[in-house]
Amino acid sequence: MKKLKKTIPTLILCLALGAWLAGCAGKGAPEKTNCDARIKWDVTDEVKLTQFDCALGKHDGQPSLIFTVGLENPTDKPLRYRLNIWLDDMDKAMGHYVPRTGKPPVVEPGKSTTVKIPFMKTDKLSKDILVVVTTMHME
């Protein structure tokens, strides 16, 4: 019985630590976000997320869940990124090139940009989100 009394608190501590780590899964998360969701991050080391906000609003007259994402290029070379957001609990996904246009379409070293990604015909906030940012090398 004494052994069980020592094991149970250790087991509870391990479970709490595992749940905390699962909530912070992934790398590259911005310092803060206003989205009340479980967010998994898969972000390249060649970008720094400076903003990740979500809000309900209208886009082209449709109710939409709108994400505002800020990206900064911390490297010493111009880069273009591919940003994907999955709403896992709603079976929806969107992607965006960052920047979308330009000659060449790149974020210069040390510069930042912000993009808005609307999920049209979505009238509620997602509770389970996956964010992936990859680098598109311009040769």
- What pTM did the predictor assign? 0.77
pLDDT in tens, 90-106: 999 999 999 999 899 99
Which own/partner pairs from 111-116 qualify as long-range (CB within 8 Å, at least 24 positions apart)?
Answer: 111/72, 111/73, 112/50, 112/70, 112/71, 112/72, 112/73, 113/70, 113/71, 114/51, 114/68, 114/69, 114/70, 114/71, 115/68, 115/69, 115/71, 115/83, 116/66, 116/67, 116/68, 116/69
Lowest-pLDDT range of 5-14, 77-86, 101-110, 116-125: 5-14
Q: Which domain holds residue 61?
A: 27-136
Q: Identify the CATH number of the domain in which residue 85 sits.
A: 2.60.40
Domain tally for the chain?
1
